[in-house]
Amino acid sequence: MATQRDYYEVLGVSRDASGDTIATAYRKLAIKYHPDKNPGNDEAIASFKEAAQAFEVLNDSEKRSRYDRFGHAGVNGAASGGGFSDVEDIFSAFGDVFGDLFGGGGGGRRGRRRGRDVRCDVSLTLHEAATGVTKTVEFQRHERCATCDGGGAAPGSSKETCGYCGGAGRVIQSAGIVRMQTTCPACQGAGQTISKPCNDCRGTGQRLRAVETEVNIPAGVDDGTRVRITGQGEPSPNGGPPGDCYCFISVAAHPLFDREGQHLIVRMPITYSQAALGCELETPTLDGRATVTLKAGTQSGDVFRLRGLGIADPHGRGMGDLLVQVTIEVPKKLSPDEERLLRELAELEHKHVAPERKSFFTKLKDYFTAHENGAANDESDADEVPEAPRQAKNKAKR
């Protein structure tokens, strides 16, 4: 007698797999080894039966418990666990698991499907993104054919009931004892056929058109944001709701401002005198001008925050800020007067050293002094004769 494979191995699941996982694994195997897909393949039929046997045991909590404890000996001979007599028994036992795949449930025509979504692209300036704007966008989508009014049949003709499925949209295909309900290949599930298709739409009932519509873009959108226009996508192929149009937004770079989320950053160059003495600095904003106060001793890279002058949050959670970052600009060329004054300033700096700089130069002087004294001490020690050897020499003379 051939050795029976482990049922968990047959289905490709772990021993702690849930019931849903076991059913899903069995469904995949049943579709893979279905007799209609493998006509005349005895190995596929055997695998189909083996998967059904495994599912029958593992799908039943009592049988699964016995199988976990005693293996095949615990379930062989119980109910149909020892094997199905034919494929028809499998369909009868598990048709409810697979719905209309095995001819059970469902049936009828295909359900109404939603139309496909379409895409368009919108380019904005930073100011438009910050304040919100209404844009006219253009994209392509299919629309009802005006010639056949969406029916697909040529003028003067009409759709006919499908003779293959009798208008049901589904057919039962049989191969001996195997039965399977599938979409009608003649009408593709529509239940009707067109003998004389419309010349303009070739029987589809739809034609591709260029469409223009307006989209309201809220304030605060960022680069890469999507805005949906509901119901402006492709129509449904069988009477369902239309799809949507998604507008993908790109925001152009600004010559002055960088953006970080809802904050704006502007980098302002200042002079050494402005940084040292402090000043009132005029800075640009998206709406005009503003003034920021620089304190004396401002350092290059310091950031000053102007609250509420950034970009609005598109979800209504307030405004961002304007961050003014200053950089000290060193002139490459000086006028004679500027050079003379800077040289005088340099001389003053040498005479009147600031406390921090005085501390540094004091530490530097102490370092050099200590280093020089240490070197001198090393040379002096090298010329001296150690005391212990000298005493030893005197004793030797005695």
Residues annotated as binding site for Zn(2+)? 145, 148, 162, 165, 184, 187, 198, 201
| Cα–Cα distance for residue pair 306/287, rounded to 1 Å | 13
Distance CA 292, CA 295 (A): 10
Q: Which residues of 217-234 are buried (b: 16+ CB within 10 A; e: fewer)?
A: bbbbbeeebebebeebbb
Cα separations in angstroms, 127 against 254, 258, 312, 323: 9, 12, 11, 17
For 112, the token pair is: 């109404």
Sign of CA dihedral 86, 90, 95, 99: negative
The DSSP string of 73-113 is GGTTTSTTTT--SSHHHHHHHHHHHHGGGGT-S--SSPPP-
- Supply 83's token pair: 């094997």
**φ and ψ at residue 14, rounded to 5 degrees:** -80, 165
Backbone φ, ψ for residue 27 (5° rounding): -60, -40
User: What are the backbone dihedrals phi and psi of residue 183, each rounded to the nearest 5 degrees, phi first?
Assistant: -65, 140
* Binding site residue list: 145, 148, 162, 165, 184, 187, 198, 201
Task: Assess contact for 23 and 17: CB atoms under 8 A.
Answer: no
Q: Report the C-alpha gap between 41 and 47 in whole angstroms.
A: 10
Amino acid at 218: P
